[in-house]
Amino acid sequence: MRLIPKLIREVMKNIVRKPATLQYPKVATKVAKGFRGKLEWIADKCIGCGLCAMDCPSGAIELIPINVSTTEKPEYRRLPVFHYYRCIFCYQCVESCPTKAILPSTVYDLSSYDKENLIRKPSDEEKSIILKKFKKGGGKK
Ligand code: SF4
Ligand code: SF4
């Protein structure tokens, strides 16, 4: 019989208590200091050296020839493409990049039904940045 008052007390306590769960994705979860999230690539800083791809232990970075031309005449430059679905967030690429073109972030919501959404290719805007830079002699062909 002592169980009923105990249960009532417990119910009353929980009625006024804030929920322990978070309203994710409505409310973003705070991440711990030093959390390793999605990598950011800064086109302007990339020299296409390929060290990131060479050092990546999980094959998440591919250095592939990409047409960066804005005219009909193609101009290919070897640039990194990130396969986030293979990334183990070791951040070796951040360490290896000699120009700090790969930056850490705390972005963690990477899940997707479509694998294509987890492949980071240079955008058209980034391609024109690369083109301008290479024309000035700032990278490898
Ligand atoms: S964080 Fe590690 S696994 Fe991910 S792309 Fe960089 S080197 Fe590869
Ligand atoms: S991101 Fe850095 S390491 Fe990778 S190709 Fe560009 S400059 Fe080289």
- The neighbour count for residue 26, using CB atoms within 10 Å, is 6
The protein residue whose alpha carbon is closest to atom 3 in ligand 2 is 97
Q: Is the pLDDT of residue 29 over 90?
A: no
- Residues in the ligand 2 pocket, defined by CB under 6 Å: 46-52, 80, 96-97, 99, 101-102
Sort strands 102-103 and 40-41 into parallel, antiparallel or unpaired. Answer: antiparallel
Tell me the CA distances in angstroms from 135 to 27, 32, 41, one per residue in order: 45, 42, 20
Mean pLDDT score of the chain:
91
The residue extents of the domains of the chain are: 30-135
Confidence (pTM): 0.82
Instruction: Identify the pLDDT of residue 95.
Output: 97
Q: Is residue 139 very low, low, confident or very high in pLDDT (cuts 50, 70, 90)? A: low
Q: Is residue 1 very low, low, confident or very high in pLDDT (cuts 50, 70, 90)? A: low
Give the residue, out of 40, 52, 58, with the most ligand 1 atoms within 8 A of its beta carbon, to mutate for a pocket test. 58
Q: Is the pLDDT of residue 134 over 80?
A: no
30-135 is classed CATH 3.40.50.720: no
Give the atom of ligand 1 at the shortest distance from the alpha carbon of 61. Answer: 5
* Residue range 50-63: mean pLDDT, rounded: 98
Give the atom of ligand 2 at the shortest distance from the alpha carbon of 100. Answer: 2
